[in-house]
Chain A
C-alpha cells in the first residue's frame, strides 16, 4: 500500500526538498498522520487543529479535489496520487 504525494515548493522544507514523497493510509486522514510521522511539519501544514483541511490548501486525489469527494475521510487505494496545491487565483 503506497500513495505518491506531490508536494508544492512552499512545503518542501518539510521533505528535505523532495518533490514527491511516499506515504500510506486507507483514507486521507490516515495518510496525513503518516505524512507527519515521516516528514515532521508536513501533515500539520495540511490539517488544522480541528482536523479539517487548511483553507488555502487544495488536496487532489488523482485529479479530483477531495472537498467534492469525501473530504478528509476520502478513501485511498494503492497507486493513488495525492497532489497538494496552494490556492492561487487567475483572471
Chain B
C-alpha cells in the first residue's frame, strides 16, 4: 500500500480468519480496524466527517472543531486536524484510558472532561452546551452525522464483500451505531439474507449514573431496523474473549473486540445461522490503548474485570 498522505492510508484493513476460536461448523473472521493509521475504525469516520464538512463549507481554515468522544474518534480527528491547521477540542468522559489522553495531547488537541457517571451521554451534553451560540465552532457530531455510517457504507462494507462475498452474518459493537448501520445496510443490499448482530457493552453501575431515564440517548445515526439481534456483553465476558483472541489466535485487540467476538460465538447456533456460515466480526481497535487498564496483565480474570467495568471500553 502506497499513500501520498495519511488520509490515503485509511481503510483496506485485513480480514483474518479465527480458526481456533470458530465453533464447530462455523467460520469466524475478524476485520482488523486497528490497522488504520491512528489504530482504530474511527479513522474512516473522521476522514468522512472532515472531508464532507470541507466540501460543503462548514469547515474552513481557523475553525475550531469540537467533538464529544469516548476517545477513538477524538484521536482520529486529531490526527487529521493537526496537519490541516484546524484546532480541535474533544469532550471526553473522565473514565477513559490514560493512553487516549496522551495521544490527544500528542496531536495537539485540547481535552475537556465530562463526568464519569454520565458516560458518553455526558460528553454529548457538555459539547452541545459549549457549541451553543459559538459561530466559530464546528461540531461534526458523529452521533448524528450521516457521514459516519456513510464511511462504513462506502468503505468497510465493500471491503468485506470483496474479501468474503458469501458471508452469512456480521457482528459489530454499538457505540454511535455508525458501523452496524453503514456496514449492515451495504451488506443487506449485497444479500438480503445477511444477518446483522450488534454487541451492546454492559458496564458497571458507575457508567449508568443518570439522574433519570429521560437522560438516555439513542444516536440518531443508528438505524435499529437493520439489526437482526442485539446482545449485551459484560466486562468479564468481553475481557475473557479478548484474552482468548491473544492466546488462541495471536490477535492483540481492544476489549470491545472481545465483546463482539463473544456475541459472534453466541449467534453461531443452528437456530440463528445455518451450519457452514461465515461470520465477520468488526474489531474496532487493537489493544495498545488499554494496556494501562490492566486488561492484559496477569491476575484473576474476575478481579481484572471488576476493575475494568467502570472504564469505558467502547
Binds B, one of A24-32, A70-78, A79-87: A79-87
CB pair B228–A68 under 8 Å, yes or no, is yes
- From B142, B178, B208, B229, A9 is in contact (CB under 8 Å) with B208
Q: Is B216 an interface position by the 8 A CB rule?
A: yes
Given contacts A56-B217, A57-B213, 9 further A-B contacts (CB under 8 A): A8-B208, A10-B208, A10-B209, A11-B213, A55-B216, A65-B229, A87-B216, A89-B121, A90-B70
Q: Is A51 an interface position by the 8 A CB rule?
A: no
CB pair B216–A88 under 8 Å, yes or no, is yes
CA distance A25 to B213 in the complex (A): 24
What chain A residues lie within 8 Å of B72 (beta carbons)?
Answer: 91
- From B176, B218, B232, B312, A65 is in contact (CB under 8 Å) with B232
What mask results when residues 38 to 69 of chain A are scored 1 for a CB within 8 Å of chain B, else 0? 00000001000000001111101001110110
Binds A, one of B22-30, B151-159, B199-207, B288-296: B199-207
Residues of A within 8 A of B (CB): 8-11, 19, 45, 54-58, 60, 63-65, 67-68, 83, 85-91
Q: Is B181 an interface position by the 8 A CB rule?
A: no
| A-B CB contacts (within 8 Å), total count | 105
CA distance A10 to B142 in the complex (A): 26
What chain B residues lie within 8 Å of A58 (beta carbons)?
Answer: 200, 230, 232
CB pair B266–A91 under 8 Å, yes or no, is no
Give, as a whole number of angstroms, the nearest-CB distance from A72 to chain B.
Answer: 16
What chain A residues lie within 8 Å of B53 (beta carbons)?
Answer: none
CB pair A91–B42 under 8 Å, yes or no, is yes
What chain A residues lie within 8 Å of B91 (beta carbons)?
Answer: none
What chain A residues lie within 8 Å of B208 (beta carbons)?
Answer: 8-10, 85-86, 88
CB pair A9–B205 under 8 Å, yes or no, is yes
What mask results when residues 103 to 129 of chain B are scored 1 for a CB within 8 Å of chain A, else 0? 000000000000000011100100000
What chain B residues lie within 8 Å of A54 (beta carbons)?
Answer: 213
What chain B residues lie within 8 Å of A55 (beta carbons)?
Answer: 216, 218
CA distance A67 to B209 in the complex (A): 24
CA distance A8 to B72 in the complex (A): 27
CB pair A89–B219 under 8 Å, yes or no, is yes
Q: Is B162 an interface position by the 8 A CB rule?
A: no
What chain A residues lie within 8 Å of B121 (beta carbons)?
Answer: 88-89
Q: Is B314 an interface position by the 8 A CB rule?
A: yes
CA distance A85 to B218 in the complex (A): 12
Q: A56-B218, A57-B213 are in contact. Are A90 and B231 (CB under 8 A)?
A: no
Which residues 87-114 in B have Cβ within 8 Å of A in the complex? none
CA distance A56 to B213 in the complex (A): 6
CA distance A16 to B102 in the complex (A): 42
Q: Which residue of A lies closest to B222 (CB)?
A: A89
What chain A residues lie within 8 Å of B217 (beta carbons)?
Answer: 56, 87-89
Q: Is B307 an interface position by the 8 A CB rule?
A: no
